[in-house]
Structure 1
C-alpha cells in the first residue's frame, strides 16, 4: 500500500486531499495542530487505514514525532509528502501585527521547509517518492492586501524549483500546485475588498483531485483555474509591466 503524509489535514483543502488519497488506496497520515479532529476522522470508514496525530510544523520535535508515528505504521515508507499547512492574514501590511506576520513566515516558509527536510530520509528510502507543496496563484505576482502571504508563496515556488533539481538524484520528485481562491475558511478570510473582485472559483475537492493527479502526471508546477492560468501565461509572455497591470485588474 502506498502512503501519503499530509500536514494541515484537519479541515479544508488538507482534509479533501486526505480523502482523495484514501479513496485511491493510500495509507494516509492526517496530521495537524488540531489533533483531536484528525483522530476523530479515524472513525470514518474512508480512513480505516489512516494514521492521525499532532503536528505543529513550527516545531522540529513535533515534526519528527509525527513522522515517526506515521512511518511506524507504514514500515518506514513515505511515498508522498503533501505540505499543505498554511496561515493567511489579509489587509494592508501596516495593519498586521508582529504575531500575524511571524505566523505566516513560521508556518508557510520555515515550517514547510523543516517538514520537507525531516521527511527527506524517508522519501529517499522509498522508491519513486515525491513532495507536493501547496503554493498559490499569489506566487504569480505579488498581491496587494496579501503582501506577506503572497511573498511566502513566492518562497514555496522557489524552494520547489530548487529541490526539484537538488533531490533529483535521490529519486524524489518535488512539485507544487497553484490554486486560485478556494471556498474554504481561509479563502473566506480574505480582505473584503478582494472578495468583491475575486470569486471562489474552486472547491477543495477540485484541488485534491489535481494534487493526486500530480502523482500520475508529473510536472514542476500545476496552475489551477481558468483565470489563473490566463494570468500566469500573460505574466510569463509579456513581463513584469503587463503582469502588474493584469494583477491590478484582477484584485481591483
Structure 2
C-alpha cells in the first residue's frame, strides 16, 4: 500500500517536530511546514523513514502559503491528503491589559485563523482520501478561561467549537475531525508561561513525544474516538469530566485558587 500523506504545521520544534518525526518513522509521507523551513530531513530520527520528509515554509495566516504547501505536498499523490495536523500556534502570557491589542490579535490570527485556513483549504484534498482526518491542536485552556492567558484560552475555545461543528458537518464525507487537549507540554511556548500560577501549581508533566504518540494513535485508528475531543495526559483526563460535572461557581473558585 502507498504511504498515507500528512501535513503538519508548526513542525520546526516542539509538538509539531515530534509529530512529524514519529509519523515519518511509522511510514507516513510527511510534509513538515513552519515559518522557517524545518530541518527535519537531516534529523537522525528521520534516517529510517520509508519516505523522506518533505520540508517547506508555511505562514498559516497566509492563504497563498497554504495553497502552495498543499500543492507541493500532494503533487505526487494525485491531490490526495490523508491527514492535516493543525498544530501551529503562539502564546502570550500576562494580564489582559498588560498586553496590547496587536499582541492579542496575533494570537487570534495564528491560533484561530490558521486553523480555519487549514481546514477550509485542505478540505478538497482531504475529500480525495478514503480515510481522511483533520486533527486540530486545542488545549486544556479551553475548559475554563485562564487569568494570564485570556486570549490564548479564547482561541483554543474557538478551536474546540470549530472542531465540534465540522465533526457534524463533515459526517458522511469520509473526513474524521478531532481535537487534542494537552495541558502544559515541555516546549518553548511553555517557557513563556512558567511563572503563571497554574503552571507552578500543576507542573509540566507532558513532553512533545507524549502528544505525538497520541496524534499517531488517533490518526492510525488505534484509539476509538467517542468524542471529537481527545484528552492528553492524566491531568486533563481527570479535569475534563470534573469541570463538566461541577457547578460553575466551584470551577470559578478552583481556577481562582490555581492562579494565586
TM-score, normalised to structure 2, is: 0.91
Q: Deviations 1:188-228 (Å, cap 9, x if unpaired)?
A: 11151334323111000000001111122242111122222
Among 193, 211, 216, the residue aligned to 2:215 = 211
Among 22, 43, 67, the residue aligned to 1:64 = 67
RMSD: 1.8
Q: How far off is 1:143 after superposition?
A: 0.6
Distance 1:52 1:42 in 2: 15
Structure 1 match to 2:258: 250
Structure 1 match to 2:233: 225
Contact kept in structure 2, 1:90 and 1:191, CA below 8 Å: no
Q: How far off is 1:248 after superposition?
A: 2.5
TM-score, normalised to structure 1, is: 0.94
Contact kept in structure 2, 1:91 and 1:191, CA below 8 Å: no
Distance 1:171 1:246 in 2: 40
Q: Does 1:114 align with 2:117?
A: yes
Report the secondary structure of 2:167's partner residue: helix
Q: Does 1:198 align with 2:202?
A: yes
Structure 2 match to 1:150: 153
Unaligned runs of 5+ in 1: none
Name the stretch that deviates more: 236-245 or 106-115.
236-245
Contact kept in structure 1, 2:56 and 2:69, CA below 8 Å: yes
Q: Cα–Cα, structure 1 residues 5 and 249, in superposed 2: closer, same or farther, change >3 Å?
A: same
Runs of 4+ in 1 over 4 A off after TM superposition: 38-44
Name the stretch that deviates more: 38-47 or 236-245.
38-47
Q: How far off is 1:57 after superposition?
A: 0.6
Matches of residues 1-252 of structure 1 in structure 2 within 5 Å?
1-35=3-37, 37=39, 41=43, 44-46=46-48, 48-190=51-193, 192-194=195-197, 195-215=199-219, 216=221, 217-219=223-225, 220-252=228-260
Unaligned runs of 5+ in 2: none
Q: Cα–Cα, structure 1 residues 218 and 97, in superposed 2: closer, same or farther, change >3 Å?
A: farther
Q: Cα–Cα, structure 1 residues 225 and 245, in superposed 2: closer, same or farther, change >3 Å?
A: farther
Report the secondary structure of 2:97's partner residue: helix
Q: How far off is 1:61 after superposition?
A: 0.4
